[in-house]
């Protein structure tokens, strides 16, 4: 297997690392306090202007055509500086990919350039509902055909970037009498559509710079042409796109974990106890060794899944493996980083407590760790002869 990055992928990683260092890292602490929203939006615009909001979108629509490996490398770099910015970038890229995959020619021409160039600060996925989280097929939101329009009624919860997204990809039930999961369709809904309103931001444990909102649809009328793909075929689309999104979450997890361990190693070399640096103690060295294994294994799993996707091969199982392992590894790495810092790690004077809070959600969104195990087992048994 070839593990070397292409020249283009290496340049993209370096460009992402520079923006992360120059623009994202200095703002991360303020975002965590609930400040710096205008600067955050400016950073999203900068990322768009440098091609990072449409990494796997074709050039004719304003995208970078860089591929999934470049997408994963980018998110690792961004997340190492600011997880909130990284997850916003990840979801916006997902929105672009689903439009490119199942949208009409008119959809692609009308919406992809606006995602790519930052006209839309972000894109958002509207899938989760109060009774449809790990079981999205159980959604209840309706889309009723009315002449040359669809009318949407219901609400979606925990929507990343809800309050500043310019465009929503929305799943809704179009045939309530169909078997579960068979009567769902997917639509494009501009954020300024009458009848669409954004609820207050959730008060979250971590990744507080990334807004998470409830989106309300009350008689929201959209053209029938805003249906993407075939009517009642939306659940299949959701399942496919979630697999790609899991590569993004895995890369975000890795970035957080890497930042935590970099901080821990630096602290261990500087902090003196019993007349020597913490890094001189074998017990602590073994902690670091275990976490380095986590980081390296996470990266290999992520790049394997990303490369499979770029080659057009099945990748759902590998994406779930990467997401499961990297998110669980992020928990271990951030916990170890706090332990190495001792009492200082529990204080906000050091960033490792923020990394731990930012990492916790990665084991939940885009499918919980438990759901990933179900997918891995199902796909493995399906492949067993």
Least Cα distance to 72 among 55, 59, 60, 84 occurs for 55
- DSSP symbols for 151-202: EEEEEEEEEETTTT-SEEEEEEES-TTSPTTTSEEEEEEETT-TTEEEEEEP
Can you say how many angstroms the Cα of residue 4 is from the centroid of all Cα atoms in its chain?
Answer: 25
Tokens of 353: 């407590």
C-alpha span between 343 and 23 (Å, rounded): 29
Least Cα distance to 43 among 89, 112, 93, 92 occurs for 89
- Indicate which residue of 97, 366, 370, 379 is catalytic: 366
Tokens of 219: 């008689």
C-alpha span between 189 and 265 (Å, rounded): 46
Q: Cβ contacts of residue 107 below 8 Å, gap of 6+?
A: 99, 188, 226, 228
Catalytic: 35? no
Q: Tell me how many degrees the CA angle 364-366-369 measures, rounded to the nearest 5.
A: 45
C-alpha span between 28 and 32 (Å, rounded): 6
Least Cα distance to 244 among 187, 196, 302 occurs for 302
The helix (run of H) or strand (run of E) holding residue 230 is: none
C-alpha span between 143 and 149 (Å, rounded): 10
Q: How far apart are the first and last CA of the chain?
A: 25
The Cα-based distances of 32 to 124, 261, 343 in angstroms read: 21, 20, 20
Beta carbons of 120 and 93 less than 8 angstroms apart:
no
Beta carbons of 153 and 144 less than 8 angstroms apart:
yes
> Beta strand 123-126 with 167-173: parallel, antiparallel or unpaired?
parallel
Residues annotated as catalytic are 366
């Amino acid at each position: 297997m070839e593990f070397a990055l292409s020249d283009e992928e290496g340049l993209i990683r370096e460009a992402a690392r520079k923006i992360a260092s120059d623009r994202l890292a200095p703002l991360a602490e303020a975002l965590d306090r609930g400040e710096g929203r205008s600067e955050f939006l400016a950073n999203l615009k900068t990322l768009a202007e440098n091609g990072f909001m449409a990494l796997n979108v074709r050039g004719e629509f304003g995208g970078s055509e860089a591929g999934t490996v470049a997408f994963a490398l980018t998110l690792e770099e961004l997340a190492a500086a600011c997880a909130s910015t990284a997850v916003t970038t990840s979801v916006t890229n997902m929105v672009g990919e689903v439009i490119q995959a199942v949208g009409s020619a008119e959809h692609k021409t009308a919406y992809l350039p606006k995602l790519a160039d930052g006209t839309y600060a972000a894109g958002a996925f509207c899938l989760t509902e109060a009774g449809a989280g790990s079981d999205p097929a159980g959604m209840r939101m309706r889309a009723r055909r009315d002449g040359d329009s669809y009318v949407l009624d219901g609400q979606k919860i925990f929507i990343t970037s809800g309050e500043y997204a310019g465009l929503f990809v929305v799943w809704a039930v179009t045939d309530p009498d169909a078997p579960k999961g068979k009567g769902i369709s997917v639509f494009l809904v501009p954020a300024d559509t009458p009848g669409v309103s954004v609820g207050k931001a959730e008060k979250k444990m971590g990744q507080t710079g990334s807004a998470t909102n409830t989106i309300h649809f009350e008689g929201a009328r959209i053209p029938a042409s805003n249906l993407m793909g075939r009517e009642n075929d939306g659940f299949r689309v959701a399942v496919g796109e979630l697999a790609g999104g899991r590569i993004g979450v895995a890369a975000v997890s890795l970035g957080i974990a890497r930042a935590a361990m970099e901080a821990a190693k630096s602290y261990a070399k500087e902090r003196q106890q019993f007349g020597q640096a913490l890094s001189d103690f074998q017990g602590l060295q073994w902690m670091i060794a275990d976490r380095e294994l986590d980081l390296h294994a996470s990266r290999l799993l992520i790049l394997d899944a990303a490369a499979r996707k770029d080659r057009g091969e099945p990748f759902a199982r590998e994406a779930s493996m990467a997401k499961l392992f990297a998110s669980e590894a992020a928990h271990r790495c951030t916990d170890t980083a706090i332990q190495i810092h001792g009492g200082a790690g529990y204080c906000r004077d050091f960033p490792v407590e923020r990394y731990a809070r930012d990492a916790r959600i990665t084991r939940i969104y885009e499918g919980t760790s438990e759901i990933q195990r179900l997918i891995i087992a199902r796909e493995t048994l399906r492949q067993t002869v």
